[in-house]
Structure 1
Amino acid sequence: MIPESLPATLLEQWQKAGYENASLIQKQVFEPLKTRQNVVGVAPTGSGKTVAYLLPSLMQVTPGGGNQLLILTASQELAMQVLETARFWTEKTQLKVQPLIGGANTKRQLEKLKEKPEILIGTAGRVLELMKTKKIKSHQLQTVIFDEADQLLAGQALEIAKGILQHLDRSCQLNFFSATALSVLPEIKTITKDDFTLIDVTKEDNSQGEVAHLYLMTSKRKKADTLKKLLHVADFRSLIFFNEVAELGAVAEKLQYHNLPVATLASDQNKMLRKTALQAFKADKIKGLLTTDVAARGLDLADLPMIVNVEVPMDDASYLHRAGRVGRMGKKGTVITLVAENDLSYLKKMTKKMALPLKKVFLYGGQLVDTRPVINENEKKSQKMPIEKEKPKPKLHTKESIVKKKNKKRHKKQKNIGKRRV
């Protein structure tokens, strides 16, 4: 039971972080991880899973013992966040923490590996690359943690994970954590040969705050305009999710053309651009961070009030993890999905399946309102922009036009003389 079971160095950091009670997942996985069982930990987003697996794992690491603990993540951003968390908890120890992230300078990572860090945190592709060249002492690793396991063990990522597992000693402890880890339970069973302890606190956990799930009707071609209006809503600050990078880029261009405070974070950007965009968002220098599901996993953004789905997410897991960026550790949050008429039934079916109450909202007068506003005729007239009459184009006085004008005057004069004679 933590914090009572923590050594002095970790207890000091626990108090420094201002923690009082451990969350449900932190309590339930502590002893199994400490006693070196293989654990599958399932808990809602924002329930403290990183600290849950980190503290008991750190207690098994010996200073000066070389590579012992490996934490694999599904994205560069999550790796950097776990790195920051690990460095906080090891602040009062002699343990060294080393990032091994794709897109970063490999030469610098190799130099740091020569210092024999006890804790390695990285993206799966870069870790496998270093294992193949024997730069990581794989046989020394005692514990490997798959953070966001369902992403690391699905599709093409599964082959990379299998490559890593081949380099590990048979006695290595294997742990898998995610809010949706049950979706890859067959793969976990194969990897561990059914030797694991499943701890699922999803139904019992009450750490998530109140989250409102809303939808805003708009056509596909007007979604950029709707985002422009949302960015002018008072206190708006949001992760803005897209399903495709191409659509993200097209909308970002339109918003940035109007000098709106947004940035982008996508898989086709280099590490520095992604890092700069995320830092700007965390520092509240921009109001909207346009991204894909690359930012839907594990990121802990303090007091984030809202996330916006520009399109209905591709599946339940995607919606769940995006929504998990708000309402973390008891705080309130809002999820807004921009939906076209033909996608509404799909969104309703998705949220109903996850037992999420869905509500329609309207964007009016720079605010999100619950009911469609009634606008009288006078308001309609006041809202209409005055139509400026097009000024007549100035006539060009060419030599030919001047002669024509003179002849016209002469003809008119002769006509008037004729009338007087009559």
Structure 2
Amino acid sequence: MGADTFLPEINGAAIFAARLAAGLVQRGHDVHVVAPAASRKHGTWTETIEGEPMTVHRLYSWRWYPHPWLRFAIPWRIEQNSARILDEVKPDVVHFQSHIITGRGLSNQAQKRGIRIIGTNHFMPENMLDHTLFPQFIRPWATGLAWKAAARSFGRAEAVTTPTRKAAEFLENATHLKGVIAISCGIEMSNYTPSFEPRTENLILFVGRITGEKQLDKLVRAFARLDKSLDARLELVGGGDQEHQLRSLANQLGVGDRVTITGYVEVEYLRHALTRATVFAMPSIAELQSIATMEAMASGLPVVAANAMALPHLVHDGDNGFLFEPGNVDDLAERLTEVLTLPEDELQKLKQSSMKIVEAHDIQRTLDTFEDLYRGVLVTEDSVIERPLGKRARLRAALRAVAGGKREE
């Protein structure tokens, strides 16, 4: 498995790659991950990822200083490194999570050796260009070059996937590839704990990177426009380059005492925050799926999200939350107010609906589908959608439904 970003880095692509790799190890597969070194130390060793041991080949990397933490493998060494690792490991399949550097080298060298190749795209230009020094007038040209590079790497793959149908259409239009399959990143629902106790506070929660493309300034401004009688609080769980700016903005708007920005936190804190929140807010306009939103839904939270990219696939307006016009602060404030003023029984319906919708994204289904792709089984989007949940996933869903009913009573 090749990844340009991998744990300990925290972002959707890194988390998906880690959970997929760990799930495959649990199923008895021998998984090797090729990723940039997280520090100057590089080489091959065993790492415990998501509780599972696997071999990780950490490539010599440099820091990308326009970004707060990103490191990248050296582009002119990637072909040599990929050839060496593939010849040592002799894998049955190569699955790359990004075409930018690691995926380019692995896919090119795997093709030369006749190894089955699967490619998954998590890339959005908006998520990268904010962390470059490119002036605005150059960005369309840079975006075009990036998609041409993507077309070359993904063109070597026997199957190309991306997390949602919207993201698949976006990739097809940008690269002229055909037949991109939408496969959810998936989450382990049993890791999250919904609460059906009557709410005791109005807590608005965001979880994710505190960066420009998430449009968190819009969320802070919308929060400042809420009626003070709601006695609401806003908690942004995560870290990034916008922490200082958002704290300053909250103070300027007079809500600094009710806005918390945690910085990077442990998983236990994150899951507890999802349990105690009232509503989850996702203002980003560049989400190919949003694992954070799925985690919130698995925690039984209604969601207020931008009506952009893949978020409408998760947030069904009026069913498990509300969509707002992207970038519209007043609309966001109105939708948050709508959730925070709902009668308790209506709020409980949104919570139950979130849990029901996210059941289709159980990671066991995702693992089943990728195993089929690795074995060369023909996978269509209809077969992914119609694939039944495994026994363990069905049992967990039933137990959660029973627990939810008891808590409501």
Query: What is the TM-score normalised by the length of structure 1?
Result: 0.34
Q: Which structure is larger by alpha-carbon Rg, 1 or 2?
A: 1
More helix by share: 2
Q: Which is bigger in relative contact order (C-alpha 8 A, separation at least 6)? A: 1
Query: What is the TM-score normalised by the length of structure 2?
Result: 0.34
